[in-house]
Structure 1
Amino acid sequence: MAEKFKLKDIFKLLKLTYHEWMKDDAFAKAAAVAYYAVFALPGFLLLILYFTGLFIEEETITGEITAQISSMIGPKAAKTIETILMKSKLEDQSFSGAAISIGSLLFGATGLFFQLQKSLNSIWEVEKKPEAGILRMLLDRATSLGIIIIVGILMLISLVLSATISILSDWLSDTFGSDLMFFTVSGEFLLSLFILTLLFATIFKVLPDVEIRWKTVWIGAIITALLFSLGKWLIALYISNVNPDSNFGAGGAIILFLLWVSYSCLIIFFGAEFTQVFSENYGYKFKPSEHAQRTAEYKLRNHHKYEDINIAQKDQK
């Protein structure tokens, strides 16, 4: 019977997670996803813009996207990305040109999550069955598109709740006549943590080719959200004290974007490793999806483990 999780076990779990994280070469995986992210960025942002634009004015969404990027990698990099976004819009194009552009944007944007899925599968030691075929690939792309839509929904929720916090803060300030900056900052931090936890939990649950319970992914999602928030603050601190343009020249914006994506992926992979370690140590078992199987490395390792157990049992007899 698996032991019950206790809060004091968290440091032991973090140590095991770090060992697995390094063993699975998270840095190489993060670099691969960052490479895809450069090409996926226009399509990813445009899909979010078009979806959220169905409910809120486009200028508001564009401003929110720019503000979020600015808070993570600085105003200059945010301005560069905003320019890329504006130039990628499908305006004044023929039907065939628009169709090709839409297809390219969809392929690029979903490709980012497709690559992220491969990395998460590697961490969970599963792979697609050879007979999965093209239909499975199309379904994976559809899943990636679904996650992009979820990002858009979470952005809408964030906008509404941020506005609510701001209005409530102003009302309390007018009513009690005191500066409530602490309330505003705390509220926005908790809101950000809540949104990030929902996003990471969805990624851990939906993206890898494993069947895993929601109960298992929540603790990994919370750890990931906390580390992500810490990294966001550290990168912002770095940008405020170092002028990236003087170090990287005209490519400073792209370098910062790659740095931010790489860090984000490292944290996501750490969270995935933590979720796996937690599930293995506390009995929350998971298994490959119907269209997936265990990797050869996993099968070989467990084969040797069972052989060692059998030898030990024979020696005891």
Structure 2
Amino acid sequence: MAIKLNFGKIWQFIKDVFNKWLDDKAPKLGAALSFYTIFSLAPLLIIVISVAGFIFGPDAARGELVGQIEDLVGREGAEVVQTALKNTNDPKSGIIAIVVSLITLVIGSTAVFVELQESLDIIWRVKPKPGRNIFRGLLADRVQSFALVVATGFLLLVSLLVSTAIAALSNFVNERLLAVPIYVLDIANLIISFGVIFILFAMIYKVLPDVNLGWKDVWVGAMVTTVLFVLGKYLIGLYIGSSSLGSTYGAAGSLVIFLLWIYYSAQILFLGVEFTYIYTVRYGSGIKPSKRFMIYEINPITHDGG
């Protein structure tokens, strides 16, 4: 369906996105997601670094991860990640201890994605059909979430590979030709970062919610969310940098900053999902719930014309 929007409809579309964001109580969903993120942080980091460190080793993966997080949340916020990595213990010896550690690792690392999945289902207005096997549903949710955790580690690995390739190419050019301006490398790294975030959002939209989204809807939603995220990251950084949160909360300042960043980032993500929902209903392929799920409400906001 061709999209013909005038400024009036664009403004109405934006208002509808914010109205549905409020109707879905996104601030409350973001608070719950921030809470689960703290408890999932350590096991999530272990798996992501293990996957990304397959080629470069855990130290290089750890350094790259902390560096990217520091670019996002700042030095104080990244201290939470560094502390979590520092306090992470290696699995104990013995078959039983290893099995228990692995189970705990999987459950812990996927908790935040399961919570995110439930939040997305609320936004997409879908719920399990009556008679759905609860155990099978929980298992399927964990498997999906764990796959996304591993995929996140793979994305970090790809980011490492591309960054290393760019650095090697830069050295090669500098040795044989002219010096490469620093801004060229900055632009290249910015494009890489944008691409990684875009792919991650696309995976979240395609895998986590219990709806079958068309790829066109996924790409549009992921692109809009990525742009919102990049702009929001800059604004959040300005706010946190100009505030006195770190000194106000003393020793807990780093944790407060990290939680605040997760919370605001979750709101940006949910705004992107709300945009994708309304876009899909009005101009895309429509909402098609997964096999064992059903639509329980079509929000009147989503219909064209408000």
Partner in structure 2 of residue 310 of structure 1: none
| 1:129 and 2:129 aligned | yes
Q: Work out whether residues 197 and 221 of structure 1, in 8 Å CA contact, stay in contact via their aligned partners in 2.
A: yes
Could you tell me how far 1:91 is from its partner in structure 2? 4.1
3-state SS of the aligned residue for 2:54?
A: coil
Partner in structure 2 of residue 166 of structure 1: 167
| 1:233 and 2:262 aligned | no
Structure 1: runs of 5 or more not aligned: 306-317
State the alpha-carbon separation in 2 of the partners of residues 61 and 35 from structure 1. 25
Could you tell me how far 1:75 is from its partner in structure 2? 2.3
What root-mean-square deviation, in Å, do the aligned CA atoms of Structure 1 and Structure 2 show?
Answer: 2.5
Specify the code of the residue in structure 2 equivalent to 1:51: V
3-state SS of the aligned residue for 1:209?
A: coil
Q: Which moved more, 1:252-261 or 1:37-46?
A: 252-261
| 1:26 and 2:26 aligned | yes
Partner in structure 2 of residue 39 of structure 1: 39
Deviations 1:24-58 (A, max 9, x none): 11111110111111111111111112222322211
Structure 2: runs of 5 or more not aligned: none
3-state SS of the aligned residue for 1:288?
A: coil
Q: Work out whether residues 36 and 111 of structure 2, in 8 Å CA contact, stay in contact via their aligned partners in 1.
A: yes
Q: Work out whether residues 173 and 180 of structure 2, in 8 Å CA contact, stay in contact via their aligned partners in 1.
A: no
| 1:4 and 2:3 aligned | yes
Q: Work out whether residues 223 and 271 of structure 1, in 8 Å CA contact, stay in contact via their aligned partners in 2.
A: yes
Seen in structure 2, the aligned counterparts of structure 1 residues 46 and 5 have a Cα distance that, compared at 3 Å, is: farther
Could you tell me how far 1:11 is from its partner in structure 2? 5.0
**In the comparison of the two structures, how many residue pairs are matched?**
300
Could you tell me how far 1:131 is from its partner in structure 2? 2.1
Q: Work out whether residues 91 and 97 of structure 2, in 8 Å CA contact, stay in contact via their aligned partners in 1.
A: no
Could you tell me how far 1:265 is from its partner in structure 2? 1.3
Seen in structure 2, the aligned counterparts of structure 1 residues 7 and 162 have a Cα distance that, compared at 3 Å, is: farther
Partner in structure 2 of residue 74 of structure 1: 74
Partner in structure 2 of residue 184 of structure 1: 185
Partner in structure 1 of residue 196 of structure 2: 195
Q: Work out whether residues 129 and 293 of structure 2, in 8 Å CA contact, stay in contact via their aligned partners in 1.
A: yes
Q: Which moved more, 1:158-167 or 1:6-15?
A: 6-15
Partner in structure 2 of residue 64 of structure 1: 64
Seen in structure 2, the aligned counterparts of structure 1 residues 104 and 138 have a Cα distance that, compared at 3 Å, is: same
State the alpha-carbon separation in 2 of the partners of residues 95 and 78 from structure 1. 34
Could you tell me how far 1:173 is from its partner in structure 2? 5.0
Seen in structure 2, the aligned counterparts of structure 1 residues 53 and 165 have a Cα distance that, compared at 3 Å, is: closer
State the alpha-carbon separation in 2 of the partners of residues 248 and 71 from structure 1. 22
Deviations 1:253-295 (A, max 9, x none): 2111211111221111111111111111114222111110112
Deviations 1:207-228 (A, max 9, x none): 1010111111111101111111
Could you tell me how far 1:152 is from its partner in structure 2? 0.8
The two structures have a TM-score, normalised by structure 2, of 0.89
Deviations 1:138-163 (A, max 9, x none): 01100000001111111111111122
Q: Work out whether residues 170 and 180 of structure 2, in 8 Å CA contact, stay in contact via their aligned partners in 1.
A: no
Specify the code of the residue in structure 2 equivalent to 1:78: A
Specify the code of the residue in structure 2 equivalent to 1:163: T
3-state SS of the aligned residue for 1:290?
A: coil
Could you tell me how far 1:175 is from its partner in structure 2? 5.6
| 1:254 and 2:221 aligned | no
Q: Which moved more, 1:11-20 or 1:173-182?
A: 173-182
Partner in structure 2 of residue 312 of structure 1: none
Partner in structure 2 of residue 223 of structure 1: 224
State the alpha-carbon separation in 2 of the partners of residues 239 and 254 from structure 1. 13
3-state SS of the aligned residue for 1:53?
A: helix
State the alpha-carbon separation in 2 of the partners of residues 252 and 16 from structure 1. 36
Larger Rg: 1
Seen in structure 2, the aligned counterparts of structure 1 residues 59 and 19 have a Cα distance that, compared at 3 Å, is: same
3-state SS of the aligned residue for 1:271?
A: helix
State the alpha-carbon separation in 2 of the partners of residues 283 and 242 from structure 1. 41
Partner in structure 2 of residue 286 of structure 1: 287
Could you tell me how far 1:129 is from its partner in structure 2? 1.8
State the alpha-carbon separation in 2 of the partners of residues 142 and 48 from structure 1. 16
Partner in structure 2 of residue 86 of structure 1: 86
Seen in structure 2, the aligned counterparts of structure 1 residues 114 and 5 have a Cα distance that, compared at 3 Å, is: farther
State the alpha-carbon separation in 2 of the partners of residues 157 and 284 from structure 1. 31
Seen in structure 2, the aligned counterparts of structure 1 residues 185 and 117 have a Cα distance that, compared at 3 Å, is: same
